[in-house]
Chain A
């Protein structure tokens, strides 16, 4: 039965990283109503930043913070310079998908130009696995888990109890009405992108720390599982995203453990396709709401 707990332990950590990424995407999607295909690149940028900062100062906390802040800035900039101008002229929301997909390619290319195509490593101190209750985790694992949980709690408090949170939920619910009530939707959207980038950045650094070595496709590969988690959980719902991340994370690790580790990610994607076919609004939604692009 120890295999079960091993897989579950790994699943929870994967879910933590995935949760950070999914919550970020869910936040952004709730407010902008379109998917961001460049989301993965926010993770990749943070990872590369962490490696670069690590070259100067070997402090994992500093690296993570730097990565998250840079990604937040990039996300905010992307909204300001690309997404917002396009939203004003786009006839159909689907054009924004193409825009973000093009951005994704451009960022990948730029990262390759600046950092090369060879694999990069974020050095972490050597890890020893400990038993924490029934789970088997390393110190890094626990750090990631704690960070994720702290992030979710912070976000929950932010959204529930601050005026920004209320305004953000209002904009996510009905942007026109929010503007009627006097909320500065442009500013809220900007700040949401900032948050999106920050949490995605944390996820990116965590991913870089756990994956060993990576290249400019790190975030893109994670984009699909993020989509899986967000869609399974219900698009736009933050708590659903966490639930979706848990499901996908645990399914991934279990299938990797019991079936075949080479196709781990593919099982998650199969779950995604099944959910899309059977219950496209996600597993945690009760409203059958159909938003047309």
Chain B
């Protein structure tokens, strides 16, 4: 039972990192990036091919395979996430396109990339994916001890990312991003290069997502194209909306609630023998409905974004 709880906490921790990264893109900058999960996948694949030995398991083919230590893999994941984000950002953010366009382009890129990787076995073994990614440390530890150690690493990463994101939010850069979110034309008029700002937010979010992907693949030891679809990005969005987009603490709470309750608790329910599909698909439906409910009745989330503190200005003679 304790092992189950620890595993649940690890998943929550990883999801928190993902949510914090998306919070920079959506919460701070207002970018609806439906390809967000691709950055996580980039990180996962990067870690895999950096840490796997050359052609180790039978019947899988992939590039690289350098058998480097896991922390190099994690660093590679951050870089990969950032680079993929930069590439996609250049395509998707280049013009002052309508808000719809970013969503459509990101969706298109996500789907096309998923297809290409699924069909080309030489890159990351197609849709079967990669397996037997080396475990970070202490393979000789008991499962519970290993989980606790991994949880420790996850918490350290999550705390670090939280601090980073909060620093970003409070910084002038963060304020500028929020200005872009509210009115990018006005921001441009005031002299900010909106395209570069959006790109920076994109790359930052991508790097964070890459880290989350790296942690995922290090814990689960495998990764394939089924692990990243549009529904995953919507799941993250739900975590943001429930908790309060723009507010990092709200995002953590929202993630904990959504992941903890829905994902892990439903695993405790007995699988209806005649309807196993009900659980997996039902989860998707419930999450979607939860997102709709949150948007309808509490769009600011549980913890609304804290307004920036400015002095009260009183105008003489206001009636």
Contact = CB atoms under 8 A, between A and B. Distances in A.
A103 B98 contact: no
A215 to B, nearest CB: 12
Interface stretch (B192-200, B282-290, B305-313): B282-290
From B32, B97, B104, B109, name the one whose CB has the most chain A CB atoms within 10 angstroms: B104
B94 interface: yes
A123 interface: no
Given A94-B32, A262-B119, A293 B284 contact: no
B68 interface: no
Contacts of B283: 109
From B96, B109, B281, name the one whose CB has the most chain A CB atoms within 10 angstroms: B281
Interface stretch (A5-13, A151-159, A272-280): A272-280
B104 A108 contact: no
A135 interface: no
B231 interface: yes
B296 A276 contact: no
A68 to B, nearest CB: 25
A102 interface: yes
A209 interface: no
Contact of A97 (B100, B111, B287): B100
Nearest to A33: B100
A276 B115 contact: no
B277 A95 contact: no
B104 A227 contact: yes
A95 to B, nearest CB: 6
Contacts, number: 128
Nearest to A279: B95
From A105, A113, A270, name the one whose CB has the most chain B CB atoms within 10 angstroms: A105
Nearest to A116: B277
Interface residues of B, number: 46
Contacts of B96: 290
Interface in A86-103: 86, 89, 91-95, 97-99, 101-103
A117 interface: yes
A276 B97 contact: yes
Contacts of B109: 273
Contacts of A290: 96, 98
Contacts of B108: 224, 227-228, 269, 272-273
A231 B104 CA distance: 10
B8 to A, nearest CB: 23
Contact of A105 (B32, B104, B284): B284
Interface in A24-42: 34-35, 37
A266 B115 contact: yes
Contact of A266 (B30, B95, B100, B116): B116
From A102, A277, A292, name the one whose CB has the most chain B CB atoms within 10 angstroms: A102
A112 interface: yes
Given A85-B296, A98-B237, A266-B115, A93 B288 contact: no
A142 to B, nearest CB: 31
30 contacts: A35-B104, A37-B107, A86-B296, A89-B299, A92-B30, A93-B99, A94-B103, A98-B234, A101-B103, A103-B288, A105-B284, A106-B289, A106-B292, A108-B284, A109-B283, A109-B285, A113-B281, A116-B277, A117-B281, A224-B111, A227-B104, A263-B115, A265-B115, A269-B108, A273-B105, A276-B95, A277-B94, A290-B98, A292-B185, A293-B100
Given A269-B112, A273-B105, 4 more contacts: A102-B292, A106-B289, A112-B281, A227-B104
Interface of B: 30, 32, 34, 91, 94-101, 103-105, 107-109, 111-112, 115-116, 119, 185, 230-231, 234, 237-238, 241, 275, 277-278, 281-285, 287-289, 291-292, 295-296, 299
